Amino acid sequence: MKPAQRKLTGPGLGLAREMAERYAVGVKRFLLNRMKTGRQDVDDLAQEVHLRLLRTPQETLVRKPPAYIFTVAKSVLADFYDVKRRNAHVVCDSDTLDAAFARQTSADPAVECQLRQELTKALGALPPRQQAVLLLRFRDGLAYEEIAGRLDISVHGVHKHVSDAKARLRTLLWDRKGERG
């Protein structure tokens, strides 16, 4: 029984939604928290999520696969804490589990500060147009069409800038060489 599911059957839909959101955000925080030092954790999580994706029947119609993958990831993480709890031979309620889970999946102020600094620096390493596209999209919340109009480029061009910029940020921030060396 997954703790997330157990919680969901209890206090009603409002909390269910809140938990779902918290856990999806949790997965992202989990990954971000491990950006520099937890490469193995990230690889392990990806490996397990990959196996579960393979077990998903091919005929399953996944409407929003990006969201679905995070749903799978959060159940992997929840299972991990469930196994840990059972192996601990200590009876603890789901609040304790949630507390442990929360520590792993919420923003750590020190990591948060480092992340923000590194993002600012990595952003500065991008070409100006890529910086502009990311800021207009993620800071100012503009639609891709609006960004295209403002910068006088095609929507496809905006998409390309976003993908290229994210890929560059990904290698700058999760630098695998840096970890090894």
Partner 1 sequence: MTASVDNDRGTRTLAERAASLQLEADTNPTDPKAAAEYWRWAQASPEHTREALLTGALDDLLAGIDPERQIDVAALERDGGNVIPLPLAAGAAPGKRETPWPRALAAGVVLVLLLGSAVVTWHLAKHSGAPAYLTGAGEERTIALPDGSTVVLDTQSRVRVRFSAHSRDLDLDGQAVFRVAHDTARPFRVHAGGSVIQAVGTEFNVRTDGGTVVNGGTVVSVLEGVVQISPEGSGPGQPVRTLPAAPVPLPAEQGAGGPLDAGRVAAGQAVTLSTTGEITHRALVDVAAVTAWQQRQLIFTHVPLPQIVREFNRYSSRRTLRVEGARAQKLTYGGIFDATDPSPLLEFVAKDPTLVLEQHGNEIVIRDRAGS
How far apart are the C-alpha atoms of 134 and 128, rounded to whole Å? 10
∠ at Cα 43 (41, 45), nearest 5°?
A: 65
Minimum CB separation of residue 161 from partner 1 in Å reads 10
What minimum distance in Å lies between the beta carbon of 109 and partner 1?
Answer: 13
Cα(85)–Cα(160) distance, rounded to whole angstroms?
A: 44
Nearer to partner 1, 103 or 121 (CB): 121
Q: Which is nearer to partner 1, 96 or 164 (CB)?
A: 164
Q: For the CB of residue 10, give the shortest distance to partner 1 in the complex, in Å.
A: 27
Tell me the C-alpha distance between 45 and 51, whole Å.
Answer: 10
**Given the structure tokens 């998409």, which residue do they identify?**
159
Query: Nearer Cβ to partner 1, position 100 or 118?
Result: 118
Smaller CB separation from partner 1, 89 or 180? 180
Closest approach of partner 1 to the CB of residue 17, in Å: 18
Nearest by Cα to 46 from 64, 56, 31, 35: 31
Residue 150 near residue 142 (C-beta atoms within 8 A): yes
